[in-house]
Each structure stands twice: as structure tokens, then as C-alpha cells.
Amino acid sequence: MNAVITGATKGIGRATAEVFAREGFDLAVCARNETDLKSMQEDLQQKYNIKVIAKPSDVAKKAQVLAFAEYIKSEWREVDVLVNNAGVYLPGDVHTEGEGTLEALIETNLYSAYHLTRALLPVILPQGKGHIFNMCSVASLIALPGGGSYSISKFALLGFNKVLREEMKPKGIRVTAVLPGATWSHSWDAMKDQLPETRLMKATDVAEAIWGAYQLSDQAVIEELVMRPQLGDL
């Protein structure tokens, strides 16, 4: 079994890679930092006796997304799971955020998932089964204060997920939007002294929920997986 995970070296991506490796999946992973990728590759292969193929990629750049897809197809004939996890958060308001913020967030949070999915579907579709996860956010559902273009990009990603779900229904491919609220990752490092650890979810919580959704029978799909800290949004 094979799983593709973008943005796999940190946060939810890293936790998800760990879960699928634990369950015996070979992995194809990408991230921007080559050193982090190599360290992760060696760690997971040693711990779980699986194969990890890795390629440094900036998913905001279409050419690098497509190169990652071609690398996967050169190594594998099948893709069982695709987790479009890579994303970036830039806080701000629409009327004051810097020029180019919307473009940067759309390229990373939306276009990367769109291009990688399209590039890998020729491998996935002939199988008549598979599971695609798109890492959305509670910001896909509500306009969070200070969310600005981030919320716009995540609303768009949820729209992509809905369209893809309809298209893949008769083809046996399950499609799930994952919509987590505040989750501990490097993005929250500056707040660690101001927030108790229990106020945010763990990245492993989201990863285990993704695994749970994957484990359902082929007759069932979780279309939208919404998760929040027990005390609600920040």
C-alpha cells in the first residue's frame, strides 16, 4: 500500500506520515527543506521497515508539484492514498494585508492540491479505489478574525473538495475534506508560553482521525471531517 503526503515533515503532515508508516504503508513525501526530508525518511524507514521516497518541493510552484508527481509515477504503479496537506498561514485582513498575499496563499493552499491530484488521478482512477484527503480548515467554514486571504484560500480548497467528491463518486475514489481547528504545530511556537497545552489539539489527533476515516469500508466515506479543540475555536 502506498500513500502520498505533501508538507510531510512538520505538524499534521508529519503525524499523518507516522500513522500510515506505522500501518505498513510505503510513503512518497515532499517538503521544502531537504535536510528535514532526509531525516524523516531515515527515521521512518528504520522504525517501520517501509520504503520512503522523498523529493524536496515548493508546492507553490506548479513545475515542482508536477515534478514530484512524475517522480512518484516513476517509482510506483499504484497510489492508494493522497493527502494534500501542504499549506501556509499568513494572518491579516483583506483591506490591509500585503500585496501578493492572496496569490501566495492560493498557490500553496489550493493550486498545489489541484495540480497534484490531477497529475496522480491517471494512476488512481484505473484502480477503481483510493482515498484523497484535502487539508482544509475550520477557516473553510467561517471567516476567522484576522484570517483574510487564508480563509479565502481554505474556502476555495473546500470547494475543490466538494467538486472532486462529486466527480469521483461513481469511480470508487473516496474524497474527504479534513477541517481542523487550532492544532499545535510550529505555527504556534510564539504562543506556547501564553496558551496551555490542552487549549489546542495535537497533530496526532488529526492524523488518527484521518486514519480512522480511511479504515471505513468502501461503501462509506466521511465527506467532511470537522475537528475543534474541546473548548472551541481560539
- What are the catalytic residues? 150
Residues 6+ apart with CB under 8 A from 82: 3, 4, 116, 117, 120, 124, 130, 131, 132, 133
Residue 132: phi and psi, rounded to 5, are -115, 125
